[in-house]
């Protein structure tokens, strides 16, 4: 998937520290970790939305 959009966000220092720690532990870039976390959150919300409609 081609990455063509840039999103700038403001986060608190604890969130930054957590993201940087994950990047360091996984030997990945901060951008890769942030993108992965966003994608996981979107998938989780998508699944939650589907479950809500079923109940």
Q: Which DSSP letter does residue 53 get?
A: H
Tell me if the pTM is above 0.85.
no
Where do the domains of the chain lie? 13-54
* pLDDT tens profile 8-21: 999 999 999 999 99
pLDDT digits (tens, 9 = 90+) for 28-52: 999 999 999 998 999 998 876 656 6
Percent helix, percent strand, percent coil in the chain, to nearest 5: 70, 0, 30
Neighbours of 33 (CB within 10 A): 19
d(Cα 12, Cα 4) in Å, to the nearest integer? 26
Asked if 34 and 49 count as a contact pair (C-beta separation under 8 A), the reply is no
Question: Measured between alpha carbons, how far is 36 from 32 in angstroms, rounded to an integer?
Answer: 6
């Amino acid at each position: 998937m081609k990455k063509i959009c840039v999103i700038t966000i403001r986060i608190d220092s604890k969130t930054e520290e957590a993201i940087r720690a994950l990047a360091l532990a996984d030997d990945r870039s901060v951008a890769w970790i942030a993108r992965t976390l966003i994608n996981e959150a979107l998938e989780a919300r998508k699944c939650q939305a589907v479950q809500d409609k079923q109940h």
